[in-house]
A and B are shown apart, each in its own frame.
Chain A
Amino acid sequence: MRVDDDSGRIRATGSAPDEQAAAAPPAARDQAAVRRTAARGQSRRAAARGPDHRAGRVSGLVGGLVLGLVVVCLVAAGRGQVPISPGEVMGSLLHRAGLEIGPLPSAVQGENALWLVRFPRVILAVVVGAALGCAGALMQGVFGNPLAEPGVIGVSAGAAVGAAAAIVSGVTILGSWTTAGAAFAGGIVTTFLVYAMSRANGRTEVVTLVLTGVAVNATAGALLGLLMFLTDDDGVRAIAFWQLGSLAQATWGAVAVAGPCALAGLAVAAACARKLDLLALGEAPARHLGVDTERLRITAIVATALLTASAVAFTGIISFVGLVVPHLIRMVAGPGHRVLVPASALGGAIVVVSGDLLARTAIDYQELPLGVLTAVVGGPAFFWLLRRTRARAGGWG
């Protein structure tokens, strides 16, 4: 069987396609399967209306994500021990903005529950989710590898070590920014370390990257264990909180620190988007198209560390968001980073806000750790992605 060059039609020549595929070596068989699927999906009809079709899907996707995020935020702010309807949440927001529209919360302490507890928590969830989703997309672009993610390759763990070191040592040189600053330092050191260790001949092999992540996570785990051994009960509790990941300690202060870091990271990521597309061609071809690849990589890595640090500084490790969200976006909107980067930020925010809503309302008077919840979903998704990547590349490309 082969795909005809000029018409895109499939012609069977000689023996039946499946017999031929079975006779071929495994790598060739996988490749043939991929080609077959692709040819089936991309009929001539699709070729004729391709660009418009995708543009429509892109605007639909972005619009849907924005709407979804607003709805999820309104619902999340209303749910909890003091129930407030989404309409009342909206009304409270509008009244604060100086517009006398809509109902105010009717529940006792409703205003306080919203403005002192729920809003900072929901907004921090938005910040953390957007940062993680965007960091995943950015990191995958830089490594040229769809399996790169702060949690998988150990950057989150490195940032946690930095934060734990700050907690245990009791250093407060940067005031309320100390923990975030230490997380940033830990994150950036780990990112450069992983980058340097997993690259060979200008590209990053899947297996090298993932194994580097295993090694980094193991080392970071040991350092965290050592720090827990050295510290007192409060320190142990604080570090355990880090490893599980939770938004329970959200305050306006945390939002004020994490928000600007994440915004800066998002802005840099958006500015890099077009160049990241070119980087998909490889190091040298991107350079031949005018990209200063070394500068791009360093800028993107610093931005990733900034995003990861802002995500983990107050909430600990929430894994897999940066892995799964960009992947889903790519399936809908294609791999172009100008859509992928902002859409992954929006998608990540939706996932973390709804994940946190589930974590604090699933069991009465108890809170599930959010990091555990995302890992329960993200772990199997990672497994599936690995299998898929392996099939597509015909090996551990």
Chain B
Amino acid sequence: MIAGRGIRVRLGGRVVVDGVDVRADAGEVVALVGPNGAGKSSLLAALAGDLPAGGTVEVAGRELAAYRKVDLARLRAVLPQKAQLSFPFTVSEVVRMGRAPWAGRPESAQDDDAVDEALRRTETSSFAQRPFPALSGGEQARVSLARVLAQQTRILLLDEPTAALDLRHQELVLTVARERAEQGAAVVVVLHDLGLAAAYAGRVYVLADGRIRGSGPPAEVFTEELLSEVYQHAVEVLPHPHTGGPLIVPRRKL
């Protein structure tokens, strides 16, 4: 559905993504993980077409540059790391902005339903009429996700959607991402929490210093050797006593 080949990004004279191949197919959640400064967000920005990047990005079989912006907006939605808003629009107005690409098309008949559904799914309906800037960081993050969901695209690029959230809402957000994938969407998500990545992603890419150090199902990729080396901190990987999935725990001197 979305694929990048040989992606190379330079920022401020430094190569932050160095010849990376990634792809996400319909129906899967793909997580990008790695230490700070590994190039995860830059790689996602390159996939979104926000950064001038070497290599090629293909969206639904066509090169990214060949799309008109509005056609692309009906195909893929992007959740930024940090939400900003210049004027005090209400939550429901912000979520409705996600419907903008469908204006003047038959799909715009579903605007109300799409907005309601997105608000309900992110548990933001109760403050739909409050001004966005008056919300807490975690509430704003969920509203931004609601806006992205309301866009109803087949590709979702999410940059750290769980960063500002509590435990319950982290699980909620990734459950929503997984649901969207089960309905046929391709989801690429940047995550810091390896436990969340292991639980919700079908495949993960481990990045460090702008290169891919491992890729595949989390159970195969998340090994003690790789994670300890990449994060420069000793890490233990244990099987979960009930599910058998990998549990990632940093070694602590306590």
Contact = CB atoms under 8 A, between A and B. Distances in A.
B126 A289 contact: no
Contacts of B101: 289-290
A196 interface: no
A288 B77 contact: yes
A281 B126 contact: no
Contacts of A35: 134-136
B89 A288 contact: no
Given A6-B126, A50-B129, A280 B134 contact: no
B100 A280 contact: no
A281 B50 CA distance: 15
B134 A288 contact: no
Given A47-B128, A281-B85, A334-B93, A290 B73 contact: yes
Interface string A283-313: 0110111111000000000000000000000
Nearest to A44: B126
B78 A284 contact: yes
Interface in B119-136: 123, 126-131, 133-136
A47 B48 contact: no
B162 to A, nearest CB: 16
A38 B134 contact: yes
Contacts of A367: none
Contacts of B50: 284, 287
B148 to A, nearest CB: 9
A50 B73 contact: no
Interface string A245-288: 00000000000000000000000000000100111111011011
A76 B74 CA distance: 51
Nearest to A35: B134
B78 A285 contact: yes
Interface in B78-118: 78, 80, 83-90, 92-94, 97-98, 100-101, 103
Contacts of B87: 144, 146, 280, 330, 335
Contacts of A50: 90, 92, 128-129
B100 A278 contact: yes
A117 B186 CA distance: 68
A5 B139 contact: yes
Interface in B131-170: 131, 133-136, 138-139, 151
Interface in B177-222: none
Nearest to B131: A38
Interface in A1-22: 2-3, 5-8
A178 interface: no
A143 B73 CA distance: 23
B128 A277 contact: no
B72 interface: yes
A284 B47 CA distance: 13
Contacts of B72: 290
A2 B139 CA distance: 13
A34 interface: yes
8 contacts: A3-B136, A8-B127, A38-B130, A274-B100, A281-B94, A287-B69, A288-B73, A334-B89
Interface of A: 2-3, 5-8, 34-35, 38-39, 42, 46-47, 50-51, 144-146, 203, 274, 277-282, 284-285, 287-292, 330, 334-336, 392
Interface of B: 48, 50, 69-74, 76-78, 80, 83-90, 92-94, 97-98, 100-101, 103, 123, 126-131, 133-136, 138-139, 151
Given A279-B86, A280-B89, A334-B90, 6 more contacts: A42-B127, A277-B97, A282-B84, A287-B69, A289-B101, A334-B93
